[in-house]
Chains A and B, each alone.
Chain A
Amino acid sequence: MIVKLLWRGLLAGLIGLAPLPAAAADPDPTDWPAVVAEAEGQTVYFNAWGGSSAINDYIAWAAGEVKRQFGVTLQHVKLEDTATAVAKVVAEKAAGRDEGGSVDLIWINGENFASMQEQGLLAEGFATRLPNWRYVDTGNPSITTDFTVPTLGQESPWGGAKMVFFTDPARTGPIDDMPDDTDALLAWAKEHPGRFSYPAPPDFVGSSFLKQVLIEQIEDAALLAEPVDDATFETVTAPLWQWLDEIRPALWREGRDYPQNYPAMKQLLADSELDIIFAFNPAEASAAIAAGELPDTVRSFTFPGGTLGNTHFVAIPYNSSAKAGAMVVANFLLSPAAQIRKEDPKFWGDPTVLKLDSLPEADREAFAAIDRGVATLSPDELGPVLPEPHPSWMTRIEEEWTKRYGS
């Protein structure tokens, strides 16, 4: 028996001879009652980063709600890196398991999305046909295109992100004296050696910081909307490398080591090793103060000329074993109730993807009533959003960064 199984696995998995079963028809969100009926009793394995207690608690709350409202069991598969989930789907495709896959829903954005879309690892578009899509802020370009790649409804928006900086004015002086663009940041770092750093790419926040510098330093930012052109890459990105070369000796640990990710920077701010850190969520500092992770003197600031902003999504893999259930969950995550809780720093503090004008009066008031915390800028103080470059830029920049500073 075991030997037989081993052989079957060897053949199917390694040689790729497994018979390809015809894929069953995906549930159709335009017939929503049918989707809800099919979803009842399904278990949805939601693969999502598990590094934050606050986020894990939020997902646990959502699980309770969809269980109660729709009889869908939501299991949070806690990842230390989203790419692990992509890797699982790849392994399943490699082994010919085109149905009954182990990942039903992924928390995803940018590079991972582009990669899965390109490899045909995603279910066909569903998001724009979800009932709660009518509340979504479709005027926000980062909702319909993820890092310039059209989402084609293959991922459903879940939350907004905007790069914001944090410091502790009790240590560093008035918040108004903080740098207001990357040139000023470079000057500040040289004056305060060892007190600034950024996570090493390919960490998401670290890579995003490089993009921020690139957008500000490049001569023609319009180039970034197009895929990278290998022939001109070097000359176009030269200002970025010059900026990084200049700041490197003034970085924390003289740039010989880098923080692993945003939470590591947060800890370094708490330990007073770093004086300026940044995150992709305007309410991070308020949430961290509430959790006892940062002193309550920490405040946020941003660049008046704009910082990067984007949207994160949930997507359904092509071989998900519970597509109807996954759609019900995605739709629930778009509901005003779920988004209000998500924007509240008490629970998470992530900007909503909904358009407030499209909401019923009561929900609009609930959004307005959220206490955003002492360290959170109000939405009109956040400054303009700079669009994300095409994902190919990120891949090339990460490679080049590793070559120059990572080895």
Chain B
Amino acid sequence: MRGLALPWLIALLLAAPVAVGMAGVALPAFGYLPALGGDGLSLEPFRHLVAEPGLAASVGLSLASGLLTTLVSVAGVAIFLAAFFGTPAFRAARQGLAPLLAVPHAAAAFGLLFLIAPSGLVFRLAGPLLGLDRPPDLLIVGDPLGLSMMAALVAKEMPFLLLVAFAALPQAEPERRMQLARSLGYGRMAAFLLTVWPTVYRQIRLPVVAVAAFASSVVDVAMILGPSTPAPLAVRLLSWMNDPDLSQRFVASAGALLQLAVTLAVILAWLGLERLVLAARRRWSRSGRRFAADRAARRLAALPVALSGLAVVVGLLLLVLWSFAGFWAFPDLAPAELTLRSWQRALAGATGPLWTSFVVALAAAVVALVLVMLLLEGRRRQFPSARAGEVRLTRAVAGLIYLPLIVPQVAFVFGLQVLVIGAGLTPSLPLLVAVHLVFVAPYAALALADPWFALDPRYERIAASLGRTRATSFLRVRLPLLAAPVMTALAIGFAVSIGQYLPTVLIGAGRLPTITTEAVALAAGGDRRVIGVYALLQTLLPFALFAVAALVPALLAGRRRGMRAA
């Protein structure tokens, strides 16, 4: 009984804030918010919403951003794996891309901005060739189609999906399938795409859908690189919520429901696209075309992943350079003077926020990890005789814990804020941890679920037969064997917490400044030096934890020689 109830209880706990937050925007969306004079139900907010100029364009942008970002990211991952599986490039990507996960979205977006803007590095390099002494009057950043915004999202999401795919690969038995397909005469890429990729994709489907949902409702990246006339829906939603004309609050709530619908539409469209691709693949496999000569295609296949990795890394280097820059005119490649002033100024005020970020993120990540492990272990113990990889979360429980990944943040955080204030809760560290938990736990579950169920249960059965209790075998056998995925889940959860802006500002009422809330406030001032410093500070914490996460399993394995092979 206990085992049956526990996963449900934890899942409900994690999903409750989303549901309550949704209720908190649904009522005002239909005109009910007594504090602002909305006493009855009406469709008036939706009428105002529809009358907002450029609404269709905003919705279109959000739809396109959700679909295109996901499409390019997934396709990039698929062709990269197909071309390079088992090669040195594959191993290099596996090592090199993991740290990119630590870079917060906003930091990556600023890096890209400093790279591709008309006054950015690319045009400074091209300046002498093109005879530029001033930046060209080109609409590259903030382009009406949102292409630079989508590029930044792809650059951030591709490494994420690639790492998830790496984790899923072993279960697709790539070597054996590739051997078989290649012996039938298929080219390397065709063999992978036909036999291995479908299994990999099936396992990473949830992260893919989460990427689609995120890209359709992203706020920070869209504010930095996205178009402003009009902006994507999520950005406009936020400005309606912050409008001094308080009646806009109703429009914002109606907009939040629209955002939810847009995100759902993106997900549905994606699922439709999946079917099309599936049908195309069937046709292909029946046609018998083998694409044996794919050398040229293989070279091209590296481009998307290499470009996005490069963009993030060069962007980070530019952030470093700006953070030490004095006056730095176009088209100079380096600042005229280097100074520590920006760092000195920032560090004087940043230690408090850094500490808050660290404490909240660590607490949220640890609590999330414990909850997720309880949930997974509770589920696993319902099937004592199951074999490795056989157990899955029930659809309902999975749906509940992954709800915060699918429902756009902007659509429910405001409702949650009203609830928190209404409950008489004052902003405090534990409250902030609790709210971060809602966003951290799903990612921790995402990172841990598959390895958790995939571990061969016979290890623990042997431990039991040697007379060890369940608790001992859990602590001394299961946890050490899973040290790598557990630490990765912790690091991912930590990074997710560090990156949270909206919930931190709204629930913390600004009284608990974190490095991210400070970074966003200062970014409003547009000073590239300060942005550089804060974006780097924002990157530093998760980076440190990813480093620790990589070290701990190695140290553990060092003491247990038998594990090294695993």
- Which residues on A are within 8 Å of B, measured CB to CB? 2, 5-6, 8-14, 16, 18, 45, 47, 49-53, 56-57, 60, 75, 77-81, 83-88, 90-97, 100, 102-103, 111-112, 114-116, 119, 193-194, 200, 202, 252-254, 256-258, 260-261, 263-264, 266-268, 270-273, 291-295, 395, 402-403, 405-407
The 3 A-B residue pairs with the shortest CB-CB distance in the complex, in nearest-first order: A407-B54, A13-B422, A51-B525
Interface with A: B184-192, B325-333, B557-565, which one?
B325-333
Q: A9 and B420 in contact (CB under 8 A), knowing A84-B505, A257-B229?
A: yes
Known interface pairs A10-B23, A95-B421, A292-B325; 10 further A-B residue pairs with C-beta atoms within 8 A, sorted by A's residue number: A13-B24, A13-B423, A14-B24, A78-B517, A87-B241, A93-B35, A111-B245, A193-B137, A270-B327, A406-B230
A82: nearest chain-B partner, CB-CB: B244
Whether A256 contacts B144 by the Cβ 8 Å rule is: yes
* Min distance, Cβ A144 to any Cβ of chain B, angstroms: 21
The CA-CA distance from A6 to B19 in the complex, in Å, is 11
17 inter-chain pairs at a CB distance below 8 angstroms, sorted by A residue, are A8-B423, A14-B418, A51-B521, A52-B525, A85-B510, A91-B506, A94-B35, A194-B137, A252-B137, A254-B139, A267-B526, A271-B329, A271-B330, A273-B135, A273-B137, A406-B229, A407-B230
Residue of A nearest to B134 (CB): A272
The smallest beta-carbon distance between B429 and chain A, in angstroms, is: 15
* Nearest-neighbor residue (CB-CB) of B243 within chain A: A83
- How far, in angstroms, from A293 to B325 measured CA to CA in the complex? 10
In whole angstroms, how far apart are the Cα atoms of A81 and B422 in the complex? 24
Q: Once the chains bind, are A292 and B327 in contact (CB under 8 Å)?
A: yes
**Which residue of chain B is the closest to A400 with respect to CB atoms?**
B53
Closest to A60 in B: B349
Query: Would A13 and B421 be within 8 Å (CB), given that A252-B137, A271-B119, A407-B53 are in contact?
Result: yes
Interface assignment of B424: CB less than 8 Å from any CB of chain A? yes
Q: Roughly how many angstroms separate A211 CA and B229 CA in the complex, as a whole number? A: 20
Residues of B with C-beta under 8 A to A49? 521, 524
Contact in complex: A77, B54 (CB < 8 Å):
no
Bound Cα distance from A48 to B239, whole angstroms:
17
Across the interface, do A9 and B135 meet the contact criterion of CB distance under 8 Å? no
CB of B510 within 8 A of CB of A78, answer yes
Contact A295 B525 (CB under 8 A): no
Q: How many residues of chain B get a CB closer than 8 Å to chain A's CBs?
A: 81
Supposing A6-B419, A272-B329 touch, asked if A81 and B524 sit within 8 A by C-beta, the answer is: yes
**CB contact between B229 and one of A52, A193, A271, A407 (< 8 Å): that residue:** A407
B179 in the interface (beta carbon within 8 A): no
In the complex, which of the residues B36, B139, B229, B419 contacts A14, with contact meaning CB atoms closer than 8 Å?
A: B419
Give the Cβ gap from B55 to chain A, nearest Cβ, in Å.
8
Least CB separation from A111: chain B residue:
B244
A257 contacts B423, C-beta separation under 8 Å: no
Most buried by A among B35, B138, B244: B244
Residue on A nearest B419 in the bound complex, by CB: A9
Contact of A260 among B138, B245, B526, B528 (CB under 8 A): B526
| CA gap between A202 and B239 in the complex, in Å | 9
Distance between Cα atoms of A12 and B34 in the complex (Å): 11
Q: What distance in Å separates the Cβ of B366 from its nearest Cβ neighbour in chain A?
A: 19
CA distance A47 to B520 in the complex (A): 15
Known: A90-B246, A253-B137, A395-B245. A13 touches B419 (CB 8 A): yes
**Are B505 and A95 neighbours in the complex by a CB distance under 8 Å?**
no
In the complex, A261→B522 CA distance in Å?
Answer: 13
Q: Contact partner of A81 among B24, B242, B246, CB < 8 A? A: B242
Name the one of A116, A261, A273 contacting B524, with C-beta atoms under 8 angstroms: A261
Q: Which residue of B lies closest to A97 (CB)?
A: B421
Bound state CA distance, A115 and B53, in angstroms? 23
B511 in the interface, Cβ–Cβ < 8 Å? yes
Asked whether, in the complex, the Cβ of A78 is within 8 Å of the Cβ of B518, the reply is: yes
B42 — which chain A residues lie within 8 A by C-beta? none
B523: chain A residues at CB < 8 Å are: 51, 80
Chain A residues with CB under 8 Å of B249's CB are 90
Contact of B329 among A60, A270, A406, A407 (CB under 8 A): A270
Q: How distant is A291 from chain B, measured CB to nearest CB, in Å?
A: 8
> A51 — nearest CB in chain B belongs to which residue?
B525
A401: min CB distance to chain B, Å? 10
Q: How far is the CA of A200 from the CA of B239 in the complex (A)?
A: 13
Task: Please give me the residue from chain A that is nearest to B533 by CB atom.
Answer: A53
Residue in chain A with minimal CB distance to B34:
A16
B473 at the interface (CB under 8 A from A): no
Given A56-B349, A78-B510, CB of A261 within 8 Å of CB of B521: no
> Closest residue of chain A to B525, judged by CB?
A51
A88 in contact with B35 (CB, 8 Å) = no
**Interface contact A95-B418, CB-CB below 8 Å:** yes
Query: In whole angstroms, how far apart are the Cα atoms of A2 and B437 in the complex?
Result: 15
B345 located at the interface, meaning its Cβ lies under 8 Å from any Cβ of chain A in the complex: yes
Q: How far is the CB of B138 from chain A (nearest CB, A)?
A: 8
Instruction: Decide if B66 is an interface residue (CB 8 Å cutoff).
Output: no
Give chain B nearest CB distance to A228 CB in angstroms: 13
Given the interface contacts A50-B518, A260-B228, A403-B53, does A91 sit within 8 Å of B421 by beta carbon? yes
Write out the residue numbers on chain B whose beta carbons fall within 8 Å of the beta carbon of A83: 242-244
Contact of B513 among A9, A78, A257 (CB under 8 A): A78
Query: What's the minimum C-beta distance from A368 to chain B, rounded to whole angstroms?
Result: 29
Contacts of B244 in A (CB 8 A): 83, 86, 111-112, 114-116
Closest to B58 in A: A407
Q: Measured between alpha carbons, how far is A160 from B241 in the docked complex, in Å?
A: 28
**What separation, in Å, do the CA atoms of A202 and B245 have in the docked complex?**
12
Is B469 part of the contact surface with A, judged by Cβ < 8 Å? Answer: no
Q: Say yes or no: B242 contacts A84, CB within 8 Å.
A: yes
Q: Provide the residues of chain A in CB contact with B229, threshold 8 Å.
A: 200, 256-258, 405-407
Decide if A9 touches B505 in the complex (CB within 8 Å): no
Among candidates A16, A102, A406, residue contacting B53 with C-beta atoms closer than 8 Å: A406
Interface residues of B in 325-382 (CB under 8 A from A): 325-327, 329-330, 337, 339, 341, 345-346, 348-349
In the bound assembly, the distance between CA atoms of A403 and B524 in angstroms comes to 24
Known: A194-B137, A263-B527, A395-B245. A50 touches B521 (CB 8 A): yes
A257 and B510 within 8 A (CB): no
Q: Report whether A295 and B511 are in contact in the complex, using a CB–CB cutoff of 8 Å.
A: no
Measured CB to CB, the closest approach of chain A to B526, in angstroms, equals 3
Residues of A near B54 (CB, < 8 A) are: 402, 406-407
CB neighbors of A among B11-42 (8 A): 13, 16, 20, 23-24, 27, 33-36
B395-434 interface (Cβ within 8 A of A): 414-415, 417-427
